[in-house]
Amino acid sequence: MKLFIDSANIDEIKEVAGWGVVSGVTTNPSLIAKEGKDFKSTILQICRIIEGPVSAEVLSLRTEDMIKDGREYSSWHPNIVVKLPMSEQGIKATKILSNDGIKTNITLVFSANQALLAALAGATFISPFIGRIEDTGHEGMSIIEEIRTIFDHYVFDTQIITASIRSPQHVTMAAKIGSDISTIPHKILKQMFKHPLTESGIKQFSEDWQSLSSYKVPQGV
């Protein structure tokens, strides 16, 4: 499973790029607005930091406008993926953009049937939002299992991006199910490094090594 970062914060993206294990970026209008900077220049800056798919979301609600915006975004950089909402308009636009060879990511997916529609429209990626399902008091990960089963059954190429991740456990579960990608907030990516036994183990090894290097070989031996 690949790891993407779900962020529009340049410092966060630079930091994780340095690890060499994050291979794409997803943004959404809320994440872009949080940074308060120009949309196009932010997306292009991200494309220069991480060499992989960078999702940029259309804001229009009409099919024709989504197609126009999608074509424009994709002309900015070859790694840009046009993110479109799960709706009749979004699916129609996805079909047309896919036929043009433009990469797409259908967002706000909350059911297996929505994923099926997106795959039939030729979407490159779909983004089921796990955390937001769990916010409503329902179990979230089973939708990833359902979509994986359907996509494998009919050999759809559409890749599953498990999104709206709220914990490192979500990442593990997504990997076990066979999600193609997890897109993860910076804070959760950092938490994935942590384990108390790793930290105490590093401390212990370091202390033991220090005591060895202070050992002096006796004269004449």
User: Footprint of ligand G3P on this chain (CB under 6 A)?
Assistant: 6, 26, 28, 127, 129, 131-132, 163-164, 183
As measured in angstroms, the least distance from the Cβ of 84 to ligand G3P is 13
Q: Between 55 and 96, whose beta carbon lies closer to ligand G3P?
A: 55
Q: Between 129 and 156, whose beta carbon lies closer to ligand G3P?
A: 129
- Report the C-alpha gap between 128 and 2 in whole angstroms: 16
14 is catalytic: no
Q: Between 104 and 183, whose beta carbon lies closer to ligand G3P?
A: 183
Rounded to 10°, the helix 63-76/39-49 angle is 50
**Are the CB atoms for 158 and 151 separated by under 8 Å?**
yes
Q: Between 96 and 103, whose beta carbon lies closer to ligand G3P?
A: 103
As measured in angstroms, the least distance from the Cβ of 44 to ligand G3P is 20
Contacts of 125 (CB under 8 A, 6+ apart): 53, 55, 81, 103, 104, 105, 106, 158, 159, 160, 161, 181
Active-site pick, 83, 176, 187, 216: 83
As measured in angstroms, the least distance from the Cβ of 183 to ligand G3P is 5
As measured in angstroms, the least distance from the Cβ of 170 to ligand G3P is 11
- Please list the active-site residues: 83
